[in-house]
């Protein structure tokens, strides 16, 4: 039995992550400097958020969902002023 590749996030996970990103104050259209905290790279900075999520593995999106669900209001406020990539 060979090694199976990690599966990509499913549409339900992507939709849930988009909702939580919006509630947490992140841009849900395009990747911006705030996404660096979530692991986005400079080369991904011209991607849409949806493309960024689609390219992630299922477990990575689940970890992102958990992180967003556990953010405090102070963490959300601290993102309002961030440097560029």
Query: Residues 10-36: pLDDT tens digits?
Result: 999 999 999 999 988 899 999 998 899
3 within a domain of the structure (yes/no): no
pLDDT over 90 at 80, yes or no: no
4 within a domain of the structure (yes/no): no
84 within a domain of the structure (yes/no): no
2 within a domain of the structure (yes/no): no
83 within a domain of the structure (yes/no): no
Tally the domains of the chain.
Answer: 1
State the Cα–Cα distance between residues 50 and 31, nearest whole angstrom: 9
Provide the token pair at 36.
Answer: 């660096």
Provide the token pair at 34.
Answer: 């705030």
41 within a domain of the structure (yes/no): yes
Range of the structural domain that residue 66 is part of: 11-78
Which pTM value belongs to this model? 0.80
1 within a domain of the structure (yes/no): no
State the Cα–Cα distance between residues 60 and 66, nearest whole angstrom: 10
Whether the Cβ atoms of residue 14 and residue 61 lie closer than 8 Å to each other: yes
19 within a domain of the structure (yes/no): yes
């Amino acid at each position: 039995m060979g090694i199976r590749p990690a599966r990509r996030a499913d549409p339900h996970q992507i939709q849930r992550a988009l909702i939580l990103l919006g509630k947490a104050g992140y841009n849900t259209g395009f990747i911006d400097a705030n996404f660096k905290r979530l692991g986005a790279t400079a080369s991904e900075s011209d991607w849409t958020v949806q493309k960024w999520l689609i390219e992630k593995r299922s477990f990575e999106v689940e970890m992102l969902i958990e992180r967003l669900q556990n953010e405090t209001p102070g963490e959300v406020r601290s993102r309002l002023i961030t440097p560029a990539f």
